[in-house]
Amino acid sequence: MRMAILGAILLGLVFGATQLFAASVETASICTAVVDRACEGAGDSFPSDVGKIYAHTTILDLEGAVTHRWIYKGQVMAEINLNVGGTPWRTWSSKTIDPLWSGDWKVEIVNNADDSVMDILEFVITE
């Protein structure tokens, strides 16, 4: 009986390991600068003359890559592939914002292995 229970536990650990260490986003922010791999000037609203903004993420338990998909008013404006080289792994992308692009934006953080959206950052460019 003990061997059966031990076997069931071991099988659960082996086949459930992917659930124990599922890829995730630990932190995600939109900011105006990245200094020493850290986000600075984080927020969810920026003026139309902001120039360049950054999507900064910390990824856990992922081998491979993620994509930052920048979306403005439902249209994909950029897709930036970012390699992930360890855990935790800090990475970021940037987008130059035209002053005419005011309104709602979002950045989807996509796991390239299965095209799943791991997180969504929403922000506004004000006029």
Give domain limits for the chain: 23-126
pTM for the structure as a whole: 0.83
Give every residue of the chain whose pLDDT is below 50, as ranges. 4-19
What's the confidence (pLDDT) of residue 3? 54
Strands (DSSP E) found in 32-101: 33-35, 38-40, 45-47, 52-60, 64-72, 75-84, 89-96
CATH of domain 23-126: 2.60.40.1930
What's the confidence (pLDDT) of residue 7? 47
Nearest to 78 by CA among 68, 64, 88: 68
